[in-house]
Structures are given as structure tokens and as C-alpha cells.
């Protein structure tokens, strides 16, 4: 019988959540939802020196914005709590002791200086990677090398110690990874990792394995950077006698820089002047705030859709997936081994797709605050129409007012290059004639104004195509924009006539 699906996202609160972390959470979430499993948030804060205040809250808020809800975790509770490792501190020691008792771990009393001396010694002897391992441990101060009574004396005296894993010598360790297949490592390449520290805290490795076991985790889905630690984790399951409960492993490929060279970092966003984190992050030390996708005006659906295709593909060329559709389509077997480029431009493309698919009235609600902030009275019907005309020209919700200002205020400046190129010869005369014709028009809509435009041009033996951009310039101040007669209809006769009059005075009548 297969065991219930229980997956965890297990970040360390050492800073703002990297996009790679959001994607890891997402893939865990998708698997859990697809298989009717449980999605758990566990905070791995055993390294107190790297703790950053606010990071945990930031992680929770980022994932909430993305639409991922946890079933168990620090903020929602659950039957396997507490879910913050610092609060589980008292229980880890017994597990380390269990490994000492069954011969898989030992006490080590070496000082920082003694460890440094060992490394120096090995370097001089040309050892490529100096390690505390089955060969070197015999010359160090630990419960395997020291007489039993001295070990006891040191423990009784309260000497500082750590507990290390007794890595077997020359043993093949096999890790089955859903994405990578079998990964085989010889234990001689691995060192005697510290499992329990002198400050009374477990290390990542011990706490992670013990908690995965106690929380009945069925699949460990995490970043590729943890693959080298997995052989140790497998050995720990064996040392505890927990082989039966060992989760399945899936290590996700790295997120790479947009140009594909090296690991993605926040600097890549900075370089492009684009956000990097899901939501605003305020550095608790400097008070400096970095703008997030949420605050910049990206849709969480677009962000999630974008992230989902970094390292995973649906097997066909579909690109647009809602969260529910991803739940249906996702599979770990379709996750690639190789790194995925983080293409900021592609995220913008996704955002455009989602923006275009929003009902205009809904988009209008989103942009209305920008209109109010610019000091205009709010007319939702009008704003909805502007959204209809402008949505294809926007990437972000926040672009709206910037590119639609002329719907709300008549232009006072005209794009110079366009004016120089188009406002000449017969144009001022045509615009003067058009203004008069418009004034006399009784029906004002897109087709009547367009017909009037064409007739006026024909009467003057001019081609409408050559006049269109000049007309647009007069009405909007710009050389490009949405369907011009839709704009004409929306602004209304009085406004259009006034704008033509202003353009004629400013740009010249002849």
C-alpha cells in the first residue's frame, strides 16, 4: 500500500525568499494537490547565526500572494507540530544519542584550533580535500580515539563537544532520485558531518531527517544544491533503522541567469531594473526596501505560470496554465535535469497575457486608484472603456495611467519627431476642415467619425492613410496608440473639437 502523500517546504529564515524557493514550494504544492496530499511549511532555523528577523513572515506572505495554501505549518498548526525547528530543539538530542549508542555517531571534542591544524597538516601532505573522516578521525580528539574513561571525564566536566556521524569507509551509497535516476556515491568521498552542535542545536542534516521521519514526509522535493547531502541523509535513515519510511527524493534543477551563465541572483534583477522577490522586502538591518512583483503590479497567476515552466514542461506546447490547470498537468517525471534560465522578459509576456484576459470592468477597478491619484473624478464606465482600448498596450496594471493620460487630460505637448514628419503641407488645412465637419456631425461614434474623416479627405483629394497619424497626434499628442476612431468616439465631440483647435494653434495652421 502506498503511503499518504505528505510534502514539505522547508526554508531556512536566512533572508528573503529567492525565486528558486518559490518554485520549490510550487512544485511541492502541485504534487500535494494533485495527489490529494498534505502540504507542510516547516521552518528550519537551527542555524541561529544566520537567522534574519522578518524572513519567516516574508516567506509566508510571498507564498500566500502566489495562492499556495498550507495544510500544516508554523502559521496554521497541525498534528505534527511544532513546525519551527527551534521549538523542537529538546527532542533532537535523543536521536543523536541513539546513533551514538548504536555505533553510528560519536562525540568529538576538538577545538577550532585543532581542526584548523588538522586541515593545515593534510594540506601540507597534499590531500586535496582535507576532511574529518574515517582516516583522519583516529588522530583527533573524539570518543572513538580517546579512552572511554577520558571521554566520560570530559563529558562529566562539561567540556564542549559536537556529535559527528561515523561515515563508513568505502561503502557504496545509492540514492534514487525521481528526476535524476540513481545517483551513486562512495562514502569515502563523504566526511563525518556534525549532527549535533556544541550550542545544543542539531545541524540541518539531523533535524531535517528526523523531522521528515516524524512528520511522515513521503516526498522530499528540493533544490539541486541539496543533492550532495542526500547520500548522508540516506545513511542516516539506515542508521536509524528507518529505511521503510525513507521518502522519495526529487532534486530540482537550478535557476540560471537570463543569459544562462551561472546561478540566478538578485543582481540580475537589479541590472535590468526589475523586481526579483515576490513581494516587497525590507532589509531589517539597513531599512532598505526592494520592490517586489506584487507591489510592482504583476499578477500572481502570471508569476506562478512563469515559474512553473522553469524546469518543467507539460509535454506539449501549451504555455498558459492557471494554478488549477497546473495541478492537473504537473508531474515530477517531466522536470528536467538541466538548469532553467530565468528570463525576466518572459515573465512580462505572461503578465500581458493575463492582463489581456481580465474582464475590462475588473481591470478598471484595479487601475481606478491611479486615476484618482492623478486628481480625476472616477467614472467607472469611462475607465472601463479606456481599459478596453489600452489593455493590449500594458504590461503591468501600474502602466495604465502613464500610457493613458491623454484620455483624461488633453495633450499640451506633441511628439516632436512625429510633428516634424506629419504636420506639414496639406495637413493643417485638412485638420481645419475636419474640425468644421466634426462640429456639424449629429451622430458621434467610431464609424460616423471615421466616415466623416474619409469624406473630408476625399473632398480635398487627400489619402486618409497619410493624414491618420497627424490626426492622432492632434488628439493624443502621440504618434501611436489604440484604434483612433474608438478613441475619438470615447472622448466625445466637444473634447475632440477642442483638441483639434488647440493643435492647430500650437502646431500651426499652415
Contact footprint for ligand GLU (CB under 6 A): 10-12, 44, 208, 222, 226
Residue 236 CB, nearest approach to ligand GLU (Å): 12
Closest CB to ligand GLU among residues 226, 344: 226
Annotation marks residue 346 as catalytic:
no
Rounded Cα distance, 109 and 510, in Å: 94
Rounded Cα distance, 491 and 493, in Å: 7
Rounded Cα distance, 255 and 84, in Å: 27
Closest CB to ligand GLU among residues 219, 294: 219
* CA count, 13 A, side-chain hemisphere, 168: 15
Closest CB to ligand GLU among residues 67, 223: 223
Closest CB to ligand GLU among residues 208, 391: 208
Q: Over the Cα atoms of the chain, what is R_g?
A: 33
Residue 17 CB, nearest approach to ligand GLU (Å): 10
Q: Are residues 83 and 38 in contact, defined by beta-carbon separation less than 8 angstroms?
A: no
What would you measure as the largest C-alpha separation in the chain, in angstroms?
A: 113
Beta strand 105-108 with 6-9 is unpaired
Residues 6+ apart with CB under 8 A from 394: 352, 355, 400, 403
Closest CB to ligand GLU among residues 228, 369: 228
Helix (H, G, I), strand (E, B) or coil at 6: strand
Full DSSP string of 228-268: GGHHHHHHHHHHHT-GGGPPEEEEEPPEE-TTSSSB--HHH
Residue 182 CB, nearest approach to ligand GLU (Å): 20
Q: Which of 257, 266, 346, 358 is catalytic?
A: 266
Closest CB to ligand GLU among residues 47, 450: 47
Full DSSP string of 363-388: HHHHHHHHHHHTTPPP-HHHHHHHHH
Residue 130 CB, nearest approach to ligand GLU (Å): 26
Residue 44 CB, nearest approach to ligand GLU (Å): 4
What are the φ/ψ torsions at residue 457 (nearest 5 degrees)? -65, -45
Residue 106 CB, nearest approach to ligand GLU (Å): 24
Instruction: Tell me which residues are annotated as active site.
Output: 266
Amino acid at each position: 500500500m502506498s503511503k499518504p502523500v505528505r510534502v514539505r517546504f522547508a526554508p531556512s529564515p536566512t533572508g528573503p525568499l529567492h525565486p528558486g524557493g518559490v518554485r520549490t514550494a510550487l512544485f511541492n504544492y502541485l504534487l500535494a494537490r494533485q495527489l490529494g496530499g498534505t502540504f507542510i511549511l516547516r521552518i528550519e532555523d537551527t542555524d541561529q547565526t544566520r537567522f534574519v528577523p522578518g524572513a519567516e513572515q516574508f516567506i509566508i506572505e510571498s507564498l500566500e500572494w502566489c495562492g499556495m495554501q498550507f495544510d500544516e505549518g508554523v502559521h496554521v498548526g497541525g498534528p505534527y507540530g511544532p513546525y519551527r525547528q527551534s521549538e523542537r530543539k529538546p527532542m533532537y538530542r535523543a536521536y543523536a544519542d541513539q546513533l551514538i549508542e548504536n555505533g553510528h555517531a560519536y562525540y568529538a571534542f576538538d577545538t577550532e584550533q585543532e581542526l584548523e591544524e588538522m586541515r593545515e597538516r593534510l594540506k601540507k601532505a597534499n590531500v586535496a580535500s582535507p576532511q574529518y573522516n574515517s582516516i583522519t578521525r583516529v588522530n583527533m580528539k573524539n570518543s572513538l580515539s580517546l579512552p572511554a574513561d577520558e571521554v566520560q571525564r570530559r563529558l562529566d566536566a562539561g567540556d564542549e563537544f559536537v556529535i559527528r556521524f561515523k561515515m563508513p569507509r568505502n561503502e557504496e551509497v545509492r540514492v534514487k532520485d525521481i528526476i535524476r535516476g540513481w545517483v551513486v556515491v562512495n562514502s569515502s568521498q563523504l566526511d563525518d558531518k556534525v549532527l549535533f552542535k556544541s550550542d545544543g542545536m542539531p545541524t540541518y542534516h539531523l533535524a531535517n531527517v528526523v523531522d521528515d521521519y516524524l512528520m511522515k514526509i513521503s516526498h522530499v522535493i528540493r533544490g539541486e544544491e541539496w543533492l550532495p547531502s542526500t547520500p548522508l541523509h540516506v545513511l542516516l535513515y539506515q542508521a536509524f533503522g528507518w529505511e521503510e519510511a525513507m521518502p522519495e527524493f526529487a532534486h530540482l534543477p537550478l535557476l540560471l541567469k537570463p543569459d544562462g551563465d551561472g546561478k540566478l541572483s538578485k543582481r540580475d534583477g537589479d541590472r535590468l531594473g526589475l523586481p526579483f522577490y515576490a513581494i516587497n522586502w525590507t532589509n531589517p538591518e539597513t531599512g532598505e526596501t526592494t520592490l517586489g512583483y506584487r507591489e510592482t503590479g504583476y499578477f500572481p497567476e502570471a508569476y506562478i505560470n512563469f515559474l512553473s515552466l522553469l524546469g518543467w514542461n507539460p509535454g506539449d506546447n501549451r504555455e498558459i496554465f492557471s494554478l488549477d490547470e497546473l495541478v492537473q498537468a504537473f508531474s515530477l517525471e517531466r522536470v528536467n535535469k538541466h538548469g532553467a534560465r530565468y528570463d525576466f522578459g518572459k515573465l512580462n509576456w505572461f503578465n500581458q497575457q493575463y492582463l489581456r484576459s481580465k474582464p475590462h470592468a475588473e481591470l478598471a477597478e484595479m487601475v481606478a486608484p491611479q486615476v484618482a491619484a492623478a486628481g480625476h473624478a472616477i467614472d467607472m464606465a469611462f475607465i472601463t472603456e479606456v481599459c478596453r482600448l489600452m489593455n493590449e498596450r500594458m504590461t503591468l496594471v501600474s502602466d495604465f495611467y502613464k500610457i493613458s493620460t491623454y484620455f483624461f487630460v488633453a495633450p499640451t505637448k506633441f511628439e516632436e519627431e512625429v510633428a516634424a514628419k506629419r504636420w506639414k503641407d496639406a495637413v493643417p488645412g485638412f485638420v481645419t476642415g475636419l474640425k468644421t465637419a466634426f462640429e456639424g456631425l449629429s451622430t458621434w461614434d467610431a464609424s460616423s467619425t471615421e466616415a466623416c474623416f474619409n469624406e473630408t479627405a476625399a473632398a480635398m483629394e487627400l489619402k486618409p492613410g497619410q493624414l491618420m497619424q497627424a490626426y492622432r497626434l492632434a488628439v493624443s499628442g502621440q504618434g501611436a496608440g489604440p484604434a483612433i476612431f474608438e478613441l475619438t468616439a470615447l472622448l466625445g465631440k466637444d473634447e475632440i473639437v477642442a483638441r483639434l483647435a488647440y493643435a492647430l494653434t500650437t502646431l500651426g495652421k499652415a
